[in-house]
Amino acid sequence: MSKTKHVLFVCTGNSCRSIMAEGYFEKRIKEEKLKVEVRSAGTLGIEGMKPSREVIQLFKEEKILPEEYRSTPLTKELVEWADIVLVMEDRHKETILTVVPAAESKIKYLRGFDPETEEKEIPDPIGMSFEAYKETFDVIKKTIEGLIKWAKQ
């Protein structure tokens, strides 16, 4: 029997990008019936914040229940729990390495799971238009499909 994989998504505030990735990935792993546990966290250390209203709207369009999501601070325990830690930007990787230097081999860029781009970062839409959030979510959804392939291995 295969081991359950542990996936941690990390962004800055854990109110949009990593929450979008967590919510959509959870939806997809349920559809694919995969043994994966998913969490997300933010490097700013904010706890209990609801997703942004733009994320709530996007989740409703995807039939994801936004009420379940609250921001979680990045901790050493979360990083150690994860088999893979997926970041959105260089600074997220740098922050994780200050918390858990031994985690370098498990840190990957989420966008690295999109074979159709050389880009590695996913820009933060915070404070921008709904369209910017939608564009970010579309990028995340595309990368999640590559991550599903990884989860099936």
Separation CA 107–CA 99 (nearest Å): 13
* Sequence-distant (≥ 6) Cβ neighbours of residue 71 within 8 angstroms: 13, 14, 15, 19, 42, 46, 47, 48, 49, 50
Mapped onto helix, strand or coil, the DSSP state of residue 54 is helix
- Distance, in Å, from the CA atom of 117 to the CA atom of 81, rounded to the nearest integer, reads 29
Q: Is 138 a catalytic residue?
A: no
In the set 53, 83, 111, 124, the catalytic residue is 124
Out of 16, 17, 28, 111, the active site residue is 17
The full length of the chain comes to 153
Q: Is 17 a catalytic residue?
A: yes
Is 16 labeled as catalytic in the residue annotation? no
Annotated catalytic residue, options 11, 16, 28, 114: 11
The catalytic residues are: 11, 17, 124
